[in-house]
Amino acid sequence: MSEELIRLTATEAAARLQRREVSPLDLVEAAAARIAAVEPALNALPTLCLDRARDHARRLMRGEGREAAGDPGWLGGLPVTIKDLTDVAGVRTTYGSPLFRDHVPARSHPLVERIERLGGIVIAKSNTPEFGAGGSTFNEVFGRTRNPWNTALTCGGSTGGGAVSVATGEAWLAHGSDHAGSLRRPGTYCSVVGLRPSPGRVTRGTPNNLFSPLSVQGPMARCVADVALFLDTMAGWDPLDPLTHDAPAVPYARAVAEAERHKPRRVAFSADFGGALPVDRETREICAREVRRFEELGCAVEEFAPDLGDLQEAFLVLRSQHFVVDREQQLRDHRELLKPDIVWNTERGLRETPSRLAWAERERAAWCRRMAAMFAEFDVFVTPGAATPAFDVMLRHPESVGGARLENYMAASMLNAAITVAGCPAAAVPCGFDRHGRPVGLQIAAPPRRDERALAAAALFEGLTGLDKLLPVEPRAGVVPAVE
């Protein structure tokens, strides 16, 4: 029965829970068995809380904690994983940092409280780079997380553990966060769906960067319908987060079920923003070919991208201020315990001048205006989900992309970061595999607060490829392909 249950989609499993054909405890035990089987090869879920999950399952089965039953996003006892940047009451939460190696929070993050109130059962914390900084998931506390399609490769970052957990059937849904692609790149590398919601769609709880739209919380799953279901679980106003707003009148799961009504008329596609960004050659070719699948739906697909201008530099300036707010005191007191990426980001931010910050804000505003002009003509904007396929798991970041050496670890993230800066929702959806068997995906972006449009387009595309049917995947050993 466990084998059958882990192959259910989250939507199917939630429906079976609703009909009482299976119990929450059945699903917790199925997840536990799957974790025991595959985790030794992957290291995706270093902290388990199965007894806590079983207690929650039994409460639901007694009829307790079901006040939200019937609300959009009700999960009914479905096991989920929570990224190890996010507090779960009574569960070790390290943020991937030696500074918090033994940290056990007394209270859960507001988003975790919401997920549990809507019937999600937390079974594990998923691995992440230290404080979420990095394009490959590893840290000094738990080590490296490996890609299930080829365990010699990275799963991406920073929601790498979450991506692996849903790709392999360890859980049906994974929570994550995204600043410069941390839901979208792991989704692409692991051939699952990762959604960066619009800022304000999902509460971030109480971060010190409370008024910045760069970092968001969001869902990950094996298919678009499941991501929409989990977004319904997460979405809504939170008095602790002033950027949040009410959940939509039409649930996202319904918008995806009725995706044909939201079908894009015109699709803009760019593989590399007119050559402005380095992208792996085969990735460009695969994405340029697969985006044409939209034409099978009657959509017009056209090559177009707004001018990036100096956005890459502006993004680094803006991002560095996030690190100053979050890490300045830790840099002062514990510099030797912080990974080089965090030191680099924070020290860069401390060197910026007010004039440079003002310049970056003007660049951000100009970029948002150019994106708005594009969306006045096109319904969605599509790019590769990542600039390069999964790379050696032992590397912090790819050393080069498309033959161009990278100046810093963020240089491979600008396909995603450009969407971040514009405040747009974006879904990463699988589109195929390269000749080495590494997953490749598309990033489908929509205008701000039009999350349903990005999800519907992703669902229509997914229906053409059928790649979600390949999951869950068994971990596969492999080798690192030679760099061309």
Which are the catalytic amino acids?
Answer: 83, 158, 182
φ, ψ for residue 235 (rounded to 5)?
Answer: -75, 145
117's tokens: 């109130």
> Is the preceding omega at residue 472 within 30 degrees of 0, hence cis?
yes
CB distance 155 to 135 below 8 Å:
no
One-letter amino acid at 233 equals T
Q: What token pair was written down for 423?
A: 């405040």
Q: 143 forms bridges with which residues in the sheet?
A: 139
- Helix 354-375 vs helix 311-334: angle between axes, to the nearest 10 degrees? 130
Q: Count the Cβ atoms, other than its own, within 10 Å of residue 284.
A: 17
The closest of 439, 462, 302, 312 to 382, measured between CA atoms, is 302
The continuous run of DSSP H or E covering 340 comes out as helix 340-351
Per the CB < 8 A criterion, the answer to whether 364 and 386 are in contact is no
Is the separation of the CB atoms in 111 and 216 below 8 Å?
Answer: no
| CA–CA gap between residue 142 and residue 233 (Å, rounded) | 29
**HEC profile of 227-263:** HHHHHHHHECCECCECCCCCCCCCCHHHHHHCHHHHC
Residue 388 phi/psi, 5° resolution?
-145, 150
Contacts of 381 (CB under 8 A, 6+ apart): 267, 268, 269, 270, 305, 371, 374, 375, 419, 424, 444, 445, 446
Tokens 């680099």 belong to which residue?
344
CB neighbours of 207 closer than 8 A, spacing ≥ 6?
215, 326
- Please report the DSSP string for 159-193 in residue order: SHHHHHHHHTTS-SEEEEEESSSTTHHHHHHHTSE
